[in-house]
Structure formats: structure tokens, C-alpha cells
Amino acid sequence: MKRSNRTLLVFLLSVLIAGVASMFVYRAVQAIPVREVEVKSYQVAVAARPLPVGTMLTASDVRLVAWPASSPVAGGYSTVEDVVNRGLVAPVVENEPLTAAKVAVAEAGAGLPPTITAGMRAISVKVNEVIGVAGFVVPGTRVDVVVTLAKREESVSRVVVTNVQVLTAGTRYDQDQAKDGKPVPSTVVTLLVTPEDAERIALASAEGQIMLTLRNPLDTEATETKGTRLASLMGAPDPPPVTKVVQGVRRAVPPPAPQAPPPPPVYAVETIRAAKRTSEVVK
């Protein structure tokens, strides 16, 4: 037998033996029984579909899923009856656990009222595409409220309420018409404010035009401004002194005097000639 034929025969026998051995190993592995490891779990109520804020939960909106007991859901519910007929105070997505932070108490009902924090008020303002910052004012964002009072030469614009949270954008009808994630032009924005700020916004809406300025969510500092008047905007000098009545006598209160410029620096030149020392001041 030629050497090349012997090499080919050895190669074919090696392939055949390897294939038979692989088949026996595969069958042996398949014959090993599957060991199922039981993971301790418990039932958790989750949303059956995406739900907006203010939804009154029904049995069809909730379902139970198995959740690992080693990682329990804080504030979660284990039965459907625990969350039925209660309103949502925050939007949820499909399969998101329903917790006490997202579900209102049983007596609070549904809609917007359960989302209002104790001591706060909700006030709605009429907006358009410009006032609503081109549609970027959405629930959860924070804004400042700027009012502009148009009174000819005394027109003024100033921030009256700062760092307030937007509860809803658009009317309930607008929100119901939003489908497939498409934006809907908002005509009303509802803000969460204190009672004092609600009075300022109501007066600003009645006396002038309001604008909303969008804030960075990490910027929590209050906006402190002196306002801008039409005269100062056009480069006019400061207004005349304000007249006040003090004990029946009308007195003019002058504007604060400008600070005096700092004095020029003074330099001293010291001259030494032999044993005589002289000093001269140079300004």
C-alpha cells in the first residue's frame, strides 16, 4: 500500500472514531436529568399596560407576577384588591410594579387632586406654543413665571414665581387625544405652587402677559432679579427720586449716591546721598 493511501486511511479512521465518540458523549449528556432550582418568590401587582397619571385602577389594569423574594419591592402590593379603585399619582409603564409612591390612598379618588401635595395648590395658566417654550414644558419639568406689564414708558418685566413644578400640560381632552406618542399642542399648563404664589400668578395673568422659562432640573436656586423696565432697556438714565409721604410731609427720597472711585496709588521715592536721606511722594 502506498504511503499516501495509508495516510488517507488513517485520517478517515480518525474522523470516524471522533464522530462515534462525539455521538456517545452527546447521548450521555442528553440522558442527564435536568435539575430545576426553585427560587423563592412572591406575588407582586404590576401594571398590565402603560397608564397615565390620574387613572382610576381597575382589575383589568393590574396583574400579578412572580417576584424574587430576595429582592422585594419597597411599598409594593401583593393582591389586585389592594390597588383597585385607587388613582395613580404618577405615570407607569407596562409591567412596572405598583407602589405606595405611585398609587393614591383609597379615599383620594382619581384625577389630578391626589397628585397635589398637602399645603400646595394647583393653578392652570393659558399658554400657546411660545409661552409653553415650544412644547418642552411637559409634566415633571420646572419653570419660572415671568410677567410683563405694558404701561407705555413704565412697562416692566420681572420674575414673580420661581422654580415651580409642572403637573400637567394640556387639558384632559388634549391628553386623551394623544396617541402613538404624538405631541399635542398644549393650551393650558397646570403648575404646583404655594397659595401665595397662586395669588401672584393670578394677579399677573389678570394685569399683564405671563411667560414660562424652562429650568434645568438640577438648578434649585431661587431666581433673584430686579426686573427690566422699558426705559433701562432703551438705555435711558435712571428714574427720578421716588416721592414718599412721611408723617404727612411729602419728601423726595434721592437715589443712592454712586460710590466714589478709589484714590490713586501713592508711591514714595527714597534718595540717599552720602549721609543724607530724602524721601519724595509721587502720585
Helix or strand (DSSP H, E) at 20: helix 3-31
Q: What is the pLDDT of residue 102?
A: 86
Same domain, yes or no: 43 and 97 = yes
Average pLDDT of the residues in 2-22: 83
**Residues 109, 133 within the same domain:** no
Whether 142 and 164 have beta carbons less than 8 Å apart is answered as yes
Residue 101 lies in a domain: yes
Averaged pLDDT, 94-122: 79
User: Alpha helix (H) ranges present in the chain?
Assistant: 3-31, 172-177, 195-207, 230-233
Q: Is residue 102 part of a domain?
A: yes
Does residue 120 sit in the same domain as residue 110?
no
**Rounded to whole angstroms, how far apart are CA atoms 103 and 76?**
10
69 and 153 within one domain? no
125 and 171 inside one domain: yes
pTM over 0.75? The answer is: no
pLDDT over 90 for what percent of the chain?
6
Classify strands 209-214 and 228-229 as parallel, antiparallel or unpaired: unpaired
Helices (DSSP H) in 117-210: which residue ranges? 172-177, 195-207
Among 231, 246, 264, the domain-final residue is 231
Q: Which domain holds residue 178?
A: 116-231
Tell me whether residue 14 is in a domain: no
Same domain, 123 and 213: yes
198 plus 180 within the same structural domain = yes
* CA dihedral for 193, 196, 201, 202, sign (positive or negative): positive
Average pLDDT over the chain, rounded to an integer:
77
Say if residues 87 and 55 touch (Cβ distance below 8 Å). yes
Q: Output the nine-digit C-alpha cell for 30.
A: 442528553
Give the end of a domain, one of 96, 114, 132.
Answer: 114
Q: Is the pLDDT of residue 173 over 50?
A: no
Percent above pLDDT 70 for the chain: 73
Contacts of 170 (CB under 8 A, 6+ apart): 178, 184, 185, 186, 187, 188, 189
Spatial distance between the Cα atoms of 223 and 130, rounded to a whole number of angstroms: 21
Mean pLDDT confidence for 198-214: 87
Same domain, 108 and 124: no
pLDDT in tens, 66-99: 988 888 888 889 888 888 888 888 888 898 999 8
Residues 47 and 126 in one domain: no
Domain containing residue 60: CATH number: 3.90.1210.10
> Is pLDDT at 181 greater than 60 in this prediction?
no
DSSP state of 165: E
Are 63 and 134 in the same domain?
A: no
Domain end call among 231, 253, 272: 231
Does any domain span residue 53? yes
